[in-house]
Structure 1
Amino acid sequence: MSVFRHLVGVVTTLLFVLLTSIVIVPILVLALFKISIPFVRWQALCNRWLDRVASLWMDANARHQELLLPTQLTIDGLDDLSRQEWYMLVANHQSWVDILLLLRIFNRRIPYLKFFLKQSLIWVPLLGLAWWALEFPFMRRHTKAQIARAPSLQGKDIEQTRKACEKFRHNPVTIINFLEGTRFTAAKYAQQKSTYRHLLMPKAGGLAFTLAAMDGQLHRLLDITIYYPEGIPTYWDYACGRVKRIQVHIRQLPIPAELIGNYAEDAEFRARFQQWVNQLWRDKDDLIETMHSASKN
């Protein structure tokens, strides 16, 4: 890689850090105002202002990416999106670049995006504070082994999801779920013995719990497929401008009432929901295969 490209990567990264350092101040001030007056309407108003500040941050980041990076984005399906709708967004996950893309593409087109984050990420410098202030839900997942040692942990994950989603009822929101649960790598793919050509196996439980916790308030599903024709990039590849093309396909689907139920205790509903998720993932796998074949021509 040329010295110039490394320099572009340094400048891009410094701009991300600088803009985050600047925006963290008004975000924390607004967060303090919000928690100082415990009234639902006041807190909902503060949340709207917090989301606006975060949108300005994403605007600035999108602008410097457009100016510094030569990446060509091909996006299908941006029509008929609304900032007044409640969305559930699912996407395949391959790189940290996925998150930068989603923020860049959907800012001001749909309500502000909320990620479920691991509890440990609250300690990330600057970003951890921003995520806390913006009410990104921090989750502490319990393994089967942990539950076996401490049965009182049974159901805690579901309760955490329910409490987190309570905060999203008062303003339109977009909740993101990477159904694979982790980034795609060849090693993980081989370990799982995935039945898909380009995807890891989807985990339906988190999606089912979120839909149930929102109790029908999430009306539309945004099914996002991200494809990197030149191979999966690292963050540094992207920041340096080495990624020439990225394809993104957006599909809107209704979320019918049949997809809301007791995933943990209703075996029939669980089987039906898993079947629906598996079909969603087969469609995505077929689409990626089509994109892959087309990129070779």
Structure 2
Amino acid sequence: MLRLLPAPLRGLLSGLLLVLNTLLWCWPLLALALLKLLPLPASRAWSRRLMGHVAECWADGNRAWMELLGDIRWQVEGLEDVRVRGSCLVICNHQSWVDIFVLQRHLNRRLPLLRFFLKQELIWIPLFGLCCWALDFPFMKRHSRAYLERHPEQRGADLATTRQACARLRGIPVALFNFLEGTRFTEAKHEQQQSPYRHLLRPRAGGIALAIDAMGEQLGALVDVTIHYPDGRPRFRDLLCGRLQRVVVHFAEREIPAQFLGRSYAEDETYRLQFQQWVNGLWSDKDARLERLQQQWPPRGPGHARGRARVSG
């Protein structure tokens, strides 16, 4: 019945449920985070486990309002073959903020809690930043090329910060997530980068290389996710208003090559080139997969530019 409501009203209800769900779970999360400040290893471990359960309940709540007010038809490939036990890396192409909710819907409670690489500036967003800090999300501090030219002594500082953030997750079951493109796909960015891939921006290998460097053999596998929106890249309000109708998600579990463990991406040039070649190979496979998915699940009507136009309505 609720799915028959006009789109603006569904958007209002979805937004309200999202806010209420967030407020419901953020306060117990922040209360448990206080235990992290105690100099007792047992209390820290106990609080981390409970905070993980709280975050999973928040993701469950998001799935509930999506199914209550939305009408998404899912086509999922390979999820039953993902059998990771313990910690892992998760990578995905990035088209929309909707991607995060798609990933949570399918991976929540199947993998350990997804933890995203975040820009350090996001820690100052009210509630959001505190919750991400409480859950040990790795914050990355990146300097622009112009800044590094003015302050050459800061070269490598962003890599060191990322390594320290990942090292704090040692001993905790995690699914460490990274959008390798670093930003959402747009035609303008694709042209500006002169990307060699048809459906993807150039990948940035440094983030997951540092994660492997910091966490080593704790990472049991790589989960490679590919998302395709047949009717165009959605905006977040399209998800809220129930306009998002079809989503195709492909999952593949891959091994992390053993020769990449115990090596330094920043200091070993040979390893850096080998790692970049491996990531480029993953991205070439993903580009071919997206081409297949776009041919298998094309737009249903005129006005969609090969799956890259936004959802309308």
- Tell me the TM-score normalised to structure 2 length: 0.90
Q: Deviations 1:190-213 (Å, cap 9, x if unpaired)?
A: 101111110001111111111111
What displacement does 1:65 show? 0.8
Q: Deviations 1:223-260 (Å, cap 9, x if unpaired)?
A: 00000000100001111111110000000001122123
Inter-partner Cα distance in structure 2 for 1:72 and 1:226: 14
- Alignment-derived partner of residue 247 in structure 2: 246
Counterpart of 1:121, as a letter, is L
Inter-partner Cα distance in structure 2 for 1:58 and 1:78: 18
Secondary structure of the residue aligned to 1:265 is coil
Inter-partner Cα distance in structure 1 for 2:188 and 2:5: 31
Inter-partner Cα distance in structure 2 for 1:201 and 1:18: 37
The answer to whether structure 1 residue 18 and structure 2 residue 20 are counterparts is yes
Alignment of 1:100-139 (within 5 A): 100-139=101-140
| C-alpha contact 2:81 2:252 (8 A) present in aligned 1 | no
Q: Deviations 1:123-167 (Å, cap 9, x if unpaired)?
A: 223222211211112221012322222222122122111211122
Q: Deviations 1:53-103 (Å, cap 9, x if unpaired)?
A: 111111111111111100112111222545741110000000000011111
Q: Please list every run of 5 or more consecutive structure 1 residues that lacks an aligned counterpart in the other structure.
A: none
- Alignment-derived partner of residue 198 in structure 1: 199
Residue of 243, 265, 268 corresponding to 2:267: 265
Secondary structure of the residue aligned to 1:232 is coil
Inter-partner Cα distance in structure 2 for 1:43 and 1:290: 46
- Alignment-derived partner of residue 278 in structure 1: 280
Inter-partner Cα distance in structure 1 for 2:238 and 2:104: 18
Q: Please list every run of 5 or more consecutive structure 2 residues that lacks an aligned counterpart in the other structure.
A: 301-313
Inter-partner Cα distance in structure 2 for 1:209 and 1:171: 17
- Alignment-derived partner of residue 295 in structure 1: 297
- Alignment-derived partner of residue 168 in structure 1: 169
| C-alpha contact 1:209 1:263 (8 A) present in aligned 2 | yes
| C-alpha contact 1:83 1:108 (8 A) present in aligned 2 | no
| C-alpha contact 2:81 2:253 (8 A) present in aligned 1 | no
Deviates more, 1:2-11 or 1:162-171: 2-11
Q: Deviations 1:254-277 (Å, cap 9, x if unpaired)?
A: 112212322222221111111111
Counterpart of 1:245, as a letter, is R
Inter-partner Cα distance in structure 2 for 1:256 and 1:42: 35
Inter-partner Cα distance in structure 1 for 2:83 and 2:128: 27
% identical equivalent positions:
47
The answer to whether structure 1 residue 218 and structure 2 residue 219 are counterparts is yes
| C-alpha contact 1:198 1:289 (8 A) present in aligned 2 | yes
- Alignment-derived partner of residue 143 in structure 1: 144
| C-alpha contact 2:35 2:43 (8 A) present in aligned 1 | no
Inter-partner Cα distance in structure 2 for 1:160 and 1:227: 33
- Tell me the TM-score normalised to structure 1 length: 0.95
Alignment of 1:38-117 (within 5 A): 38-81=39-82, 84-117=85-118
Give the number of aligned pairs.
295
Inter-partner Cα distance in structure 2 for 1:83 and 1:295: 28
Q: Deviations 1:162-185 (Å, cap 9, x if unpaired)?
A: 211122112210000111010001
Inter-partner Cα distance in structure 1 for 2:88 and 2:216: 13
Inter-partner Cα distance in structure 2 for 1:205 and 1:116: 12
The answer to whether structure 1 residue 180 and structure 2 residue 177 are counterparts is no
Secondary structure of the residue aligned to 1:170 is coil
Counterpart of 1:225, as a letter, is T
| C-alpha contact 2:73 2:246 (8 A) present in aligned 1 | yes
Secondary structure of the residue aligned to 1:130 is helix
| C-alpha contact 1:113 1:175 (8 A) present in aligned 2 | yes
| C-alpha contact 2:86 2:112 (8 A) present in aligned 1 | yes
Secondary structure of the residue aligned to 1:132 is helix
Inter-partner Cα distance in structure 1 for 2:115 and 2:273: 27
Counterpart of 1:256, as a letter, is P
| C-alpha contact 1:83 1:172 (8 A) present in aligned 2 | no
Inter-partner Cα distance in structure 2 for 1:144 and 1:236: 34
4+ long deviations beyond 6 Å: none
| C-alpha contact 1:83 1:111 (8 A) present in aligned 2 | no
Inter-partner Cα distance in structure 1 for 2:42 and 2:163: 20
Counterpart of 2:93, as a letter, is N
Inter-partner Cα distance in structure 2 for 1:18 and 1:195: 43
Inter-partner Cα distance in structure 2 for 1:264 and 1:166: 16
